[in-house]
Structure 1
Amino acid sequence: MAEELVLDTAIRDWVLIPLSVVMVLIGVLRYFVSKLMMRSPAASPSPDPKLVREGQVVIRARNLRTNAQFIPSKAFKARKNYYTNEENGLLHVPKEDAQKAQAAMFSDPNMAMDMMKKNLSMIVPQTLTFAWVNFFFSGFVAAKIPFPLTQRFRGMLQNGIDLSTVDVSYVSSRSWYFLNLFGLRGLFSLILGEENATDDAQKMMQMGGGFGFNPTMSLGAEKDSLDIIQHDWALPKMERHAEDVLKKLLKK
């Protein structure tokens, strides 16, 4: 049977609240540091018109692939051929151009430096914060979720506490750190606006992307995705569904 705990108010005053305040302040500070980095000439070069045009082509082709079921098959095939045909399709990239783009991406030191700066703006503060939490607040039960949870949430909410008898709804200080790390996006949107640089979850996923988005290389990948898609127009299914609903209503 799960054990019920009575949390001391000192834990709220000296663990829960300070940890939350520090996480918010670090996010706000990192936002302004990122803004300063973006204002520097080296961090914000003038965009290449060719790369911007290729990026817009990728976005349009992706929208076609995502919403293909809402247009007839004939219209989809015409648009697909406009993007993917081997002669003058917008997504067709010769092998020589793709190899040159890949070589230029890996040989550009400025691009590698920019990616390093962006990653360091997230890695360094969060590493120091985690070390601070792990050193001073390790083993604390910081809060209690006001609703029951299943045993599957134990590993997520009680990181750092090796007690299987404690109720799952209790949250350790280390888990509270991770909940703040990935759950403060809404608060930062209210404080800093929608276009803020503090979305840690998105940044962590983008860190695996190497040197970032390259439109020229993305053209070929989007072309392959558009080639293998199977078109299935949704309107006939909707009409049949509407007929079935009408028949059931008429029977009643």
Structure 2
Amino acid sequence: MAEDLVLDSAIRDWVLIPLSLVMVLIGILRHFVTKLMRSSQPPDIKILKENQVVMRARNLRTCANLIPAKSFRSRRVYFSNEENGLLYVPKGQAQNPQAQMLTDPNMATDMMKKNLSMIIPQTLTFAWVNFFFSGFVAAKIPFPLTQRFRSMLQNGIDLSTVDVSYVSSRSWYFLNLFGLRGLFSLILGEENALDDTQRMMQMGGFGFDPTKSNVTDIMACPIPSEEKLIT
């Protein structure tokens, strides 16, 4: 049977609150450091136009059932026509992200800066948490959880008799690391430099490849019925 623990208020004052404040402050510092390390070159007009076209195509795919079938067909041809479609790229002309990075040294430099600004603070913070706060039970979630959450919430505590709702200090670090995105968006704005998900997408894609996703998705969209009207 799982045991119930009584958490000392000193753990709240000297572990839980300092760890949360340090994670927020480090995140804000990372935001400004990342902005300072960014290159000041003007954005590529071609890439901006491609991103806008992709956004319009995704909106068409999302709202396919909200417009008449005739309107959807005409828009689909406009984007995916093999002669002059905006999203159609011949196979021999598709951009290779690796080749583009080799020809553009600024892209490789920006990628390295983003990696450094993301990896170094996380490594130092995790070492600090692991050294000073390892083994603490920092908090308790006010609702019951299943045993599947034990590995996620009790990292660093090898006791199967402790209730799953208790959170270790190391797990609290990871929860703050991945869960403060909304708070940073509220404090720093939607275009903050801490959006690791968007950053990983940019590092992995360097743009878009319409031959792999967008044209195929639009062509696969079911044509809406004739009774559907624009809302």
- Tell me the secondary structure at the aligned position of residue 213 of structure 2: helix
Counterpart CA distance in 1 for 2:55 and 2:211 is 10
TM-aligned CA deviation for residue 158 of structure 1: 0.7
2:220 — aligned with what?
A: 228
2:29 — aligned with what?
A: 29
TM-aligned CA deviation for residue 209 of structure 1: 5.5
User: Cα RMSD over matched residues?
Assistant: 2.3
Counterpart CA distance in 1 for 2:96 and 2:17 is 53
Q: What stretches of structure 2 of length at least 5 have no aligned partner? A: none
Counterpart CA distance in 2 for 1:174 and 1:157 is 8
How does 1:185-204 map onto structure 2 within 5 Å? 185-200=181-196, 202=197
- Note closer, same or farther for the CA distance 1:187–1:103 as it changes in structure 2 (3 Å cut): closer
Counterpart CA distance in 1 for 2:211 and 2:200 is 21
**Which residue, out of 154, 162, 168, partners 1:166?**
162
1:214 — aligned with what?
A: 207
The one-character-per-residue Cα deviations of 1:65-86 (angstroms, maximum 9, x if unpaired) are: 1111111222111111111111
**2:88–2:210 CA contact under 8 A, matched in 1:** no
How does 1:32-43 map onto structure 2 within 5 Å? 32-38=32-38, 43=39
What amino acid is the match of 1:47? Answer: P
- Tell me the secondary structure at the aligned position of residue 94 of structure 2: helix
Counterpart CA distance in 1 for 2:2 and 2:33 is 45
1:242 — aligned with what?
A: none
**Which residue, out of 147, 152, 161, partners 1:151?**
147
* Structure 1 position 137 matched with structure 2 position 130: no
Higher-RCO chain (CA-CA 8 Å, sequence separation at least 6): 2
TM-aligned CA deviation for residue 37 of structure 1: 2.1
- Note closer, same or farther for the CA distance 1:233–1:155 as it changes in structure 2 (3 Å cut): farther
TM-aligned CA deviation for residue 147 of structure 1: 2.1
Q: Please give the TM-score of this superposition, normalised by the length of structure 1.
A: 0.81
Q: What stretches of structure 1 of length at least 5 have no aligned partner? A: 237-252
**Which residue, out of 103, 111, 115, partners 1:119?**
115
The one-character-per-residue Cα deviations of 1:62-120 (angstroms, maximum 9, x if unpaired) are: 11111111112221111111111111111121333215776334432221110111121
Counterpart CA distance in 1 for 2:191 and 2:180 is 14
TM-aligned CA deviation for residue 60 of structure 1: 1.0
**Which residue, out of 55, 71, 75, partners 1:75?**
71
TM-aligned CA deviation for residue 234 of structure 1: 9.2
TM-aligned CA deviation for residue 235 of structure 1: 5.3
What amino acid is the match of 1:7? Answer: L
Counterpart CA distance in 2 for 1:93 and 1:54 is 12
Q: Please give the TM-score of this superposition, normalised by the length of structure 2.
A: 0.88
- Tell me the secondary structure at the aligned position of residue 142 of structure 1: strand
- Tell me the secondary structure at the aligned position of residue 175 of structure 1: helix
- Asked which structure has the greater CA Rg, the reply is 1
**1:105–1:211 CA contact under 8 A, matched in 2:** no
How many correspondences in the alignment?
228
Counterpart CA distance in 1 for 2:144 and 2:226 is 41
What amino acid is the match of 1:110? Answer: N
What amino acid is the match of 2:112? Answer: M
The one-character-per-residue Cα deviations of 1:24-70 (angstroms, maximum 9, x if unpaired) are: 110111111122123xxxx1321232222222111111111111111
**1:83–1:92 CA contact under 8 A, matched in 2:** yes
